[in-house]
Every structure is written in structure tokens, then in C-alpha cells.
Amino acid sequence: MENNIYNPDYVKGLFNRMSSSYESMNFITSFGFSIRWRRQFIKSFTPPNYKAEILDLLTGMGETWKSTKNKLPNSNLTVLDFSEGMLQYAKQKNRQHYNNEIIVLQQDILKNDLPSNYYDFVTCAFGLKTFNDEQLTILALETKRILKVGGQFSFVEVSKPQNPMLYLFYSFYLQRVIPILGKLFLGSPDEYKMLWQYTEKFENAKNAMAIFARSGLDTTFSAYFYGCATGFYGQKSKS
């Protein structure tokens, strides 16, 4: 298990199995904070005066779309995920609320066929933790490849807070309470236990940020609600 949890087939299966309950559990897991963090993590973006191309990586069911469209209304949005279970709901959302205007791609970001130097903005919410360092290096290089020079990016992920009291409370909640809620309401405690295992190993976004910086991207660290989520944002300043 230890070595397999970063295997893309394993991760895909996990999200396929969670897809029917992900949205409600996501809300409960973070006491609704995740909605706020999805708004906050793109605050650094400066909207351009032309129609921007945005790519939302690991889009899930489209949880970031609303905040992205609010921040960058004059834009084309392309989204990517490899889980057909999650994308089934994303496509439904696209039909019902976005007039099918969002381009939905089912691809593995680590083996994608996205165009180079194309996107003005790359976003990614709550997708970093299921990658190991080798995969994070590919993710960083791919982010650099697909962004235009001057293009901006932002990543955010649930993290282990530094404050010991907050850490105790948060880990108890995520590790013990969430799987019980998952079992009670959704019949699937194991998948939700896994999310905490990923967070335990991930700790915070500092390591991922260092990997992105090494790939040649400008990066700035960000922390949300005393470190319960962390991330980084920045720019591709040169090719």
C-alpha cells in the first residue's frame, strides 16, 4: 500500500469510488472552508484586458469553476481530470450551469497532450497531495511548458497546521470523525481515511513549491486559516 498510494491507477480508482459523495464530504471535511479557499487562492491573479485562456487542473466535479469565472469573467475555461466518475458530475454541471462552454478533458496530467505556451492561468485546488516528488517534478515542468511567458498559476492543498492544538483537533477530525461520517452517510469510510493519509505525508505545500521553483517558475508561498490549507502562486517569467 505504502508504495502504491501514488500509483495513478490507484488514485483514479479512489476518486471514481468517492465521486458520488465527494462534493458533500468535501464541504464537511473543511467545515465549508474549502469554498473560501477556492476563492482566496486565485486572489493574486491580475485579469488581463483580453480573453484569457484558463486551465483548471485536477478539476474534480468543477468545484473551482464558480470562483474562477467570477475572478476572470472574460475567459475561456478548459478543465482536466482523469477520473470518469468525477467528470461525469463535472459534465452535468457544464450542461446545466455553463451552457457547455467549458472544455472538459479526460487526461492524466502526467501524460497529457496539452498545447505548449498556451494558457494565461493555470489553477489547481486540492490535487497536490496525491503526487510523490517525482510526479510533482513532472507536474511543475508541465505547468511551465503549457503556460505562456507572463502566465500565472496557483495551487492550494489541505495541510497539517503548525499550531499543536489546531493540529490535534484537525487531525482527530480528519482522521477519526470524517471516516465515521463517511460510513454513516455514504457507506465508504476507507476512501476518506486515505485522504488523511495523503495529508499526513504531504504536510504542507513547501516541498511542492520548492520543486516548482527548481523547474524555473517564480513562486510565492501562501497559507490559509493558520495553515489548515497551504499553497503557492506565481508566474512563468521566462521560457
Q: What residues from 180 to 239 belong to the interface with ligand SAM (CB under 6 A)?
A: none
Q: How far is the CB of 50 from ligand SAM (least distance, A)?
A: 26
Binding mask 64-93 for ligand SAM (x = CB under 6 A): x----------------xxx--x-------
Could you tell me which stretch among 93-101, 108-116, 168-176, 203-211 binds ligand SAM (CB under 6 A)?
108-116
Residue from 155, 145, 148 nearest 50 by CA: 148
Residue 126 binds to ligand SAM (criterion: CB under 6 A): yes
- Regarding 125 and contact with ligand SAM (CB under 6 A), the answer is yes
Strand-strand pairing, 147-158 and 218-224: unpaired
Interface region with ligand SAM, contact rule CB under 6 A, candidates 8-16, 167-175, 202-210, 212-220: 8-16
Tell me: does residue 6 bind ligand SAM (CB under 6 A): no
Burial letters 60-73, b for 16+ CB under 10 A, else e: bbbbbbebbbebbe
Residue nearest to ligand SAM (CB): 60
Contact 201/129 with Cβ under 8 angstroms? yes
* 127 sits near ligand SAM (criterion: CB under 6 A): yes
Q: Which H/E stretch holds residue 14?
A: helix 8-18
Q: CB of 42 within 8 A of CB of 123?
A: yes
Contacts of 138 (CB under 8 A, 6+ apart): 110
Q: Which residues bind ligand SAM (CB under 6 A)?
A: 8, 11-12, 15, 26, 38, 58-60, 63-64, 81-83, 86, 108-110, 125-127, 130
